[in-house]
Chains A and B, each alone.
Chain A
Amino acid sequence: MTETFYDVLRRQGISRRSFLKFCSLTATSLGLDSAYAAKIANAMETKPRTPVIWLEGLECTCCSESFIRSAHPLTKDVILSMLSLDYHVTLMAAAGHQAEKQLDEIKKKYKGNYILAVEGNPPLNEDGMYCIEGGRPFVEILKETAADAKAVIAWGACASYGCVQAAKPNPTRATPIDKVISGKPIIKVPGCPPIAEVMTGVVTYLLTFDRLPELDRQGRPKMFYGQRIHDKCYRRPHFDAGQFVEKWDDDAARKGYCLYKMGCKGPTTYNACSTIRWNDGVSFPIQSGHGCIGCSEDGFWDKGTFYDRVTDIKQFGVESNADKVGGTAAAVAGAAVAAHAAASVLKKAKKSETVTGEK
């Protein structure tokens, strides 16, 4: 008989009480109503365990680091048991040929039935030689493993959008995984890294409900990426009041005013930092006095400085912001009008002179 999640948990000495606590906490964090706690419990008691293969490409492992710090009581135990840590380059016990063999076995045994979680992305330049794992380019491993997966999770900004290694000029041609994998449902969980509870929440949803959570236009789960940091920021009243930090060491900064003028990207960033927060809900960037840098947005490295509200745009070949471009254009238009008006007045005067002269 195939093991269920619940069987695994019990085997690991987790009490039923703790298990039920986990179910209700998960339901809450997913934004589901309390009736879903029982559904999650039921699913975990009856469904055979779905293995998750966790691949790491061009990345810094911050996603894994975040993930193992998930703060919900038990979440990490539950998820780590769920994950069938047969294959996670950083966390698994096996190494070398043994590890590769395990990967092959899971792929065969659970063909079309495992979930592929990808941290990082494949570089495509030089036939993928910039990222070699087990002697092969990562892009090959990724494509092969994705081919037999049920669904793919793109962890973090790397897998979702490319992140820093894809920043201009992107020498290795690091490419988000949805540009490499086709024909599979891909769920993007951007952030650098994503919030631990968001990651565990997404995995739990996939494993218990056996379907993708509702996604937005960019393929992100709506439950965590449906609103901007700004919409739920505890400093929002200062924004609406028009109270802003102007300098890092001014009185407004000490009073905790809005960081909008300091280039906070909260108003343009979709993530759950201002509600779930980080490290067991202790804090998040804005709470610690620094603006959001928009790490869960597409191409955040190439969107100009983190410290300006009106950021530089590079479409015109030179680095300049909308106010500089527009202000210059308006000044040129104004000067041109003045010059033209002067010339017109001269012309008219000359013309009337001629007319009078003729008379």
Chain B
Amino acid sequence: MDLNAAAAELDSDPQTAAGRTVYVYEIPVRLWHWINTLCILVLATSGYLIASPLPSTPGEASDQFLMGYIRFAHFAAAYIFTVGFLVRIYWAVVGNHRAREIFYLPVTNPKWWAGLLRELRWYLFLEKQPYKYVGHNPMGHLFMFVFVTLAAILMICTGFALYSEGAGLGSWQDLMFGWVIPLMGGSQAVHSWHHLGMWGIVCFVILHVYAAVREDIMSRQTMISTMISGQRTFRE
């Protein structure tokens, strides 16, 4: 599709007219976003410390449980993250159509591809203005799908597979996720992938926060306040 035509079409969308405000993200979506933020913070920190533990503490082993507490924090946050993800999937079904966005990529839609290209050009300083979008812009959409939805699935599958090693053969974690271990070539390999997944999410967080702040300032729509109030306001 011709980019200019697409631009004209998007910019003539009465929903995104300057000054208009649209309700985009419902309460469960926003709540999930901020719970995820906290979970990822705890998970990445505790996860890193599980792989590279803090210096030893002196004294009797029975007097302390540092590694145990760190692992507990990791597992507790992981359960909250997982339950949140499941509830979020439920909300994708029952919520508004914006809640479904991050679970698929509209790869058959040429308009989406055109938007993605335009967004890329905008980030390379080749466009004066980005398009306006009620939901995610195509670039954000792509990153959400890969680094939130797919990454969450990877981390939940590998994470519970590793957890099943402690929970034991025949535990529900083992029955549901134990197959991941031989699939990836052993426990050590699953650890490595889980660890890489963490770094992938860390990179995403850096880009995500930057993009949100930048778009809030430079694009023609609100970003950060939208994830708090759910309302998106457009400007010229």
Contacts and interface: CB of A to CB of B under 8 A. Distances in A.
Given A242-B64, A242-B67, A348-B218, A333 B51 contact: no
B14 interface: no
A237 B62 contact: yes
A325 B188 contact: no
Contacts, number: 133
Contacts of A148: none
A344 B214 contact: yes
Contact of A340 (B55, B179, B198, B210): B210
Nearest to A268: B187
B51 A252 contact: no
B166 interface: yes
A185 interface: no
A343 interface: yes
A298 interface: yes
A149 to B, nearest CB: 25
A5 interface: no
A161 B222 CA distance: 56
B207 A333 contact: yes
Contacts of A269: 187
Contacts of B169: 216, 222, 226-227
A35 interface: no
Contacts of B189: 303, 313
B interface SS class: helix
Interface string A231-246: 1000001111111101
B190 to A, nearest CB: 8
A62 interface: no
B52 A326 contact: no
Interface residues of B, number: 46
Interface stretch (A77-85, A164-172, A203-211, A257-265): A257-265
Contacts of B125: 343, 347
Interface string A313-352: 1000000011101110110011001001101100110000
Contact of A243 (B57, B195, B203): B57
Contact of B52 (A311, A323, A325, A347): A323
Contact of A268 (B55, B186, B203): B186
Contact of A246 (B55, B68, B196, B200): B55
Chain A interface bracket (under 10, 10 to 19, 20 to 34, 35 or more): 35 or more
Nearest to B179: A217
A281 to B, nearest CB: 23
A299 interface: yes
A299 B189 CA distance: 10
Given A226-B169, A334-B206, A303 B196 contact: no
Contact of B188 (A239, A294, A344): A294
B66 interface: yes
Of B185, B188, B199, chain A has the most CB atoms within 10 Å of the CB of B188
Given A216-B169, A240-B61, A323-B195, A298 B53 contact: no
Contacts of B185: 298-299
Nearest to A216: B169
A97 B127 CA distance: 84
Nearest to B204: A333
A222 B181 CA distance: 16
Contacts of A340: 123, 210, 214
A297 interface: yes
A327 B178 contact: no
A309 interface: yes
Contacts of B66: 241-242
A310 interface: yes
Interface of A: 216-218, 222, 226-228, 231, 237-244, 246, 252, 257, 260-261, 265, 267-270, 294, 297-299, 303-304, 309-311, 313, 321-323, 325-327, 329-330, 333-334, 337, 340-341, 343-344, 347-348
Task: Give me the 9 closest cross-chain CB pairs, A-B, nearest first.
Answer: A326-B199, A242-B66, A268-B187, A322-B195, A242-B67, A237-B61, A241-B61, A240-B68, A337-B210
6 contacts: A242-B70, A243-B56, A310-B51, A323-B52, A326-B195, A344-B214
Given A267-B165, A340-B123, 15 more contacts: A227-B169, A228-B165, A241-B66, A242-B56, A242-B68, A244-B56, A246-B55, A267-B187, A268-B186, A268-B191, A297-B186, A298-B186, A304-B188, A325-B196, A344-B218
